[in-house]
Homo-oligomer: A and B are copies of this chain.
Amino acid sequence: MTGLADRTRAFVREHVFPIEREIIVDGRVMDDGLRVELQKAARQAGVFGPLSPVQYGGLGLDFRAQADVLEAAGSSLIGALALNCWAPDDANIALLERTANAEQARRYLGPLASGEVRSSIAMTEPAPGAGADPALLRTSAEQVGGGWVINGTKHFTTGADGAAFVICVANTGAGPTMFLVDHDNPGMTVGRRMPTLDRTVPGGHCEVTFTDCRVDDDAVLGEVGSGMEHAQVRLAPARLAFCMTWLGLAVRSQELAAERISHRWAFGSVIAEHGMAQAQIADNEIDIIASRSLIRSTAEVLDAEGPASSSARHLASVTKTFVSEAVWRVLDRSVQLHGGLGVCEDHLVARYLVEARAFRIYEGPSEVLRWSIARRVLRPYRS
């Protein structure tokens, strides 16, 4: 597997770094044309689809193997995308693999896993709807003869613009349910891309409205009423994949900082000789290595006990909280080590920092995760 990780790193360095620089420094737009081009190169290099099932041309890696490969992919902001293992497609592939029936697999999973199309998941809603708290879900689906009618408003619907289909979570009488909605369904309107701090996801984060959106019965993914369970199962792997990939960016960021301070002269020596810069490099290294072992050991538990097991979910929460904050610290120190250049997008670390800010919020803000971690720890002590 180390071989695959090494090849991934080499592929990203050779094929993805130059395009990343064009995007960040020269303002090249990340669109689907570029995505297809990158994924084609990945396929040629034999590193495409680490999370995709083998029958769809993927590598079908277990979680432990993903850890190394996704870290390697993450050495560029668009590396995971190039390998077809970036959000939300990565987690949607896993979700479909687990829940799609044969026909759904043929229509949705296949094209998605092979990189033919992109997908989206419509979960988060504007206030007072579901944000971090899924219990507030407002979008509803009403059963009508042979199908359903969905009504509601979503936002932060990642990748919706240009996605072939959107997985919409809506309330039914039997509870939250997931629906596969095709991009050309006239009841679904993909609105504006929200002006989020990050800019490199194809399809952006969109506002999406469902207005009397009619879907057939076979659009139901999994059982009616099991939407939250499916979302939960999707969660631990999604959190872990983010950790793996962002860790890769932290590593890259540390390399850029180390390179820079080893050659920039100030106050009588290169900056790399200054104790306070060394402290920042060491703290980066500690954060990186601690994150890496945490990710790997959690991955092993997901492999051994399944991603829906209680310990997998607990460890994924712990890992997501620690790694999202550790990565943020590493990126922030790397900016600081660049001095003035660190806040100028001529240099990658400036953009990295801005892109990464959301990682401490999406898939569970640190505070919500801490709350759920504490409850699990405290449960046995309750009288």
Docked complex Cα distance between A360 and B339 (Å)? 9
Docked complex Cα distance between A146 and B278 (Å)? 47
Using known A-B contacts A276-B275, A336-B365, determine if residue A282 contacts B343 with beta carbons closer than 8 Å.
no
A321 with B275: CB separation less than 8 A:
no
| CB proximity of A24 to chain B, nearest CB, Å | 9
A370 with B315: CB separation less than 8 A:
no
Q: What's the tally of chain A residues with a CB closer than 8 Å to chain B?
A: 84
Question: Is residue A367 contacting chain B, with contact meaning CB distance below 8 A?
Answer: yes
A-B contact pairs, 28 of them (CB 8 A): A127-B263, A132-B266, A136-B266, A196-B350, A197-B345, A254-B377, A258-B377, A259-B381, A261-B378, A263-B383, A275-B275, A275-B278, A275-B371, A278-B374, A279-B279, A280-B367, A282-B377, A283-B370, A285-B318, A285-B373, A289-B315, A290-B294, A293-B296, A293-B298, A294-B294, A296-B297, A297-B297, A336-B367
- Mark A residues whose CB is within 8 Å of B: 25, 124, 127-128, 131-133, 135-136, 156, 194-198, 205, 254, 258-259, 261-267, 272, 274-286, 289-290, 292-294, 296-298, 315, 318, 321-322, 335-336, 339-340, 342-346, 350, 353-354, 357-358, 360-362, 365-371, 373-375, 377-378, 381-383
Sorted nearest first, the 8 A-B pairs with minimum C-beta distance are: A275-B275, A278-B374, A282-B370, A262-B381, A293-B297, A195-B345, A133-B266, A282-B373
